[in-house]
Structure 1
Amino acid sequence: MAEERARSFAPLDGEVDRFLRTPLGAALREEGPEGDVAVSSRVRLARNLREFPFPTAMRPRDAQAVLTRVESALAAFPDAAQYVRIRMGEIPPFARGILVEKHLISPLLAENPAGAVIVRQDEAVSLMVNEEDHLRLQTFAAGLALQEAYREADHVDDLLAAHLDIAFDPRYGFLTACPTNVGTGMRASVMLHLPALALTRTLGQVVEAVQKVGLVVRGIYGEGTEAEGNLYQVSNQVTLGLSEGELLENLLGIARQVIEQERRARDVLLREDRVALEDRIYRSYGILTSARRISTREAMERISDVLLGVHLGLVQGIPSRALRELWVMIRPNFLQYTFGESLGPAERDERRAVLIRRHLKEAMARG
């Protein structure tokens, strides 16, 4: 039985294994602009090939033909050697789960054996094939860097369009499987860490205000997911009638306002009851460094507390990167792949505690 469990999470070969073992790609390892609150920025472009039905109506041979076309287009990229193709039908479920946990693919793509993802080695670019649309191009940048992420997306989009016949209408813009994406086909989002707004019970007001101006606030894995570790995605809801530049400026303006509100909330916590704040942060630090069993949800919350302490200067010696890495490393699939075996819920909680203690000890030793 033990041998069978170990085999179910056996290491995969080559580049895929590297993606599965690295919690943060090179593009997201260091903090970016406004990095005390803004974790990362993402731009996603939805595109379809004119000659094929949308994925929901495609036959298996159509899906294969789309993937072949995309791979041929990619082969003409100047940096084609930097990209790795991963077909969903060729990797086990846990590997797909890790790619979801790292935001490189969506849960929808993970369930499609005819789907694939093409990832650049620095993980700044992820191209999902045969998801809801034929192509879902994602680009990532650290911190509040939407313009940087968009420039990268626009560049890759141009390279693809030079070799593919993209479905576009002069009146409606890019044609997509879901009408809500018609127009620019763009969804831009910023991942924000908002612990102080949650602690001061003002987060609900902020979310309501953001939604009134046409943006949407979602959980850590986007639509239909809950917030964990006080991580929230703020993204545009409208794709038709505005240019990409206008959409980005709107989102940037609101994101900056939310960031300032989070910082003011942190100041309030420090000013009005510093001891209570320190007590919460140090208790969480103690749990992370001493616990023998911890759930994913509790670990996310404790990591959030300690990261807040790092950014307020209350916790010394722990790089913020180590805590951001833990947000990925403690997830069920990543955790089990790290230990090389399938684990039950209680076993995962025990191994998660081991991993956290070990990772923090190593990070503090490195400084």
Structure 2
Amino acid sequence: MALGHFTEQALSDWMKREGPESDIVLSSRIRLARNLRGFPFPMLATGQQSREVLDKVTEVMENEDLKELGDFSIIPLSGISELEKKVLVEKHLISPNLANESRNGAVILSENESISIMVNEEDHIRIQCLTPGFQIQEAWDMANRIDDMMESQLNFAFEEKRGYLTSCPTNVGTGLRASVMIHLPALVMTQQISRILSAVTQVGLAVRGMYGEGSDSSGNLFQISNQITLGQSEEEIIANLYSVVQQIIEHERAARERMQEDAPYRLADRIHRSFGVLSHAVILDSKEAMQRLSDVRLGIDLGLLTGIQPKTLNELLVMTQPGFLQKHSGELLTAENRDIRRAELIRERVQDNG
């Protein structure tokens, strides 16, 4: 498959499906960090060594068992533009680190984009599996299957006491990062979010923005993930995350119900005002667009707005990002022109689906 298959459409095929609790949980993700024994970590590897790693991983991808999971494309990062890399980051198919700093970096993508295997990122291999809604166990099953297949042919750096060895000490052990992308507008609007997220961090979980570490929680979107990778099994890590996220979902549902009971007209007014802005605005910066999209999504989930599909809003989350806006426009844009193009694109999508 050509690169355009992955950069021209904002909505990955897996995102077009709805999963459990999809009114609150947008997606679930499993990421496994692995390194090859006998090779320096990517940050210390020579060009030849990182090339050898890429060759070994590429060879493994010819495994017939892996082909059962679908068709895969191997995309060397050296052969694509900075704008195309940015689009892949915005679609969560590669990390900012792989886009910016990798030597002989590559990504191996499944046709529906639910599987992304990054090569020569911070670690030699990072297996990522994505599922719609709250399906963290399903994502783990898929990632574990790929991991087992690769480990049957590659000698991973592993110690009996420490587990899998990784470039960053915080990943040593299982090398597992399990996370969910969750939409919590009611908890934010009722000013309960700080208390909830403070409790989350006290049970070994991390809270980040839409694009992970260092990003903010624009659009009331939060990424909840495990912090502990050593001393717990993969099953324990996933069970802890699942339990905590289930409680967060219940708190968000309760907050939504209270808002509908206590201030229904004020809530409806906010949602319809945001729908009006998205339908008619001529200029929209990224922050306002994300907030308005959050309000409209809440309105759809509560049944206060009809005629718009949640997948349209999922698509706009990517399409309104700087990289995709410019890729879609076919040219580099100034900040103001991006805001103008963002508003135009949102108007088109919202009015077409309204």
Q: Shared topology, TM-score over 0.5?
A: yes
Which residue matches 1:124? 114
Cross-structure match for 1:51: 38
Alignment of 1:1-367 (within 5 A): 15-80=2-67, 82-111=71-100, 112-364=102-354
How far apart are residue 15 of structure 1 and its match?
2.3
Question: 1:229 is paired with a residue of what secondary structure?
Answer: helix
Report the 3-state secondary structure (helix = DSSP H, G, I; strand = E; otherwise coil) of the residue aligned with 1:118. Answer: strand
Structure 2: 5+ residue runs without aligned partners? none
Runs of 4+ aligned structure 1 residues displaced above 3 Å come to 77-81
Q: What is the SS of the residue equivalent to 2:263? A: helix
1:88 shift after superposition: 1.1
1:171-214 Cα shifts (integer Å, max 9, x gaps): 11111111111111000001000000000010000000000111
Q: Percent identity?
A: 46
Q: Offset at 1:82?
A: 0.6
Measured after TM superposition, the shift of residue 22 of structure 1 is: 1.6
Q: Give the partner amino acid of 1:61.
A: Q
Are the aligned partners of 1:43 and 1:153 in contact in 2 as well (CA < 8 Å)? Answer: yes
Cα pair 1:87 1:113 within 8 Å, conserved: no
In the alignment, the residues of structure 2 paired with residue 208 and residue 89 of structure 1 have an alpha-carbon distance, to the nearest angstrom, of: 41
Deviation at 1:79, TM superposition (A): 4.8
Partners of 1:124 and 1:141 within 8 A in 2: yes
The one-letter code matched in structure 2 to 1:260 is E
Distance 2:306 2:40 in 1: 55
* Other structure's SS at 2:218 match: coil
Aligned-residue offset at 1:254: 0.2
Superposed CA offset, 1:145-172 (max 9, x none): 0000000000111111121111111111
Distance 2:13 2:314 in 1: 13
Asked whether the equivalents of residues 24 and 183 of structure 2 are also in contact (C-alpha less than 8 Å), the reply is: yes
Alignment partners' CA distance in 2, 1:233 and 1:160: 28
Separation in 1, partners of 2:184, 2:353:
24
For residue 113 of structure 1, report the CA deviation from its aligned partner.
4.8
CA contact (8 A) 2:15 2:311 kept: no
SS where residue 56 of structure 1 aligns?
A: coil
* Corresponding letter in the other structure for 1:277: L
Give the distance between the partners of 1:136 and 1:190, measured in 2 at CA.
17
Once the two structures are TM-superposed, the CA of residue 226 in structure 1 deviates from its matched residue by: 0.7
Q: Distance in 1 between matches of 2:131 and 2:341?
A: 31
* Counterpart for residue 5 of structure 1: none
Instruction: Report deviation, 1:361.
Output: 2.6
Are the aligned partners of 2:50 and 2:103 in contact in 1 as well (CA < 8 Å)?
Answer: no
TM-score (norm 1): 0.94
Question: Aligned partner of 2:158: which letter?
Answer: F
Distance, in Å, in 2 between the alignment partners of 1:87 and 1:301 is 35
**Superposition TM-score, scaled by structure 2 size:** 0.97
SS at 2:317 equivalent: helix
Q: Which amino acid aligns with 1:74?
A: M
Moved more, 70-79 or 255-264: 70-79
More divergent stretch after superposition (17-26 vs 147-156): 17-26
Question: Given that residues 115 and 127 in structure 2 are in contact (C-alpha distance below 8 angstroms), is that contact kept between their aligned partners in structure 1?
Answer: yes
CA distance in 2, matches of 1:298, 1:121: 33
Which amino acid counterpart does residue 84 of structure 2 have in structure 1?
A
Tell me the distance in 1 between the aligned counterparts of 2:349 and 2:206.
34
Look up the SS of the partner of 2:142 in the other structure.
Answer: helix
Larger displacement relative to structure 2 (114-123 or 308-317) = 114-123
Counterpart residue identity of residue 95, structure 1:
E
Q: In 1, Cα distance between the equivalents of 2:171 and 2:120?
A: 16
2:27 counterpart SS class = strand
- Contact kept? 2:30, 2:128, Cα under 8 Å: yes
- Secondary structure, in 3 states, of the residue corresponding to 1:239? coil
Stretches of structure 1 that go unaligned for 5 or more consecutive residues are 1-13
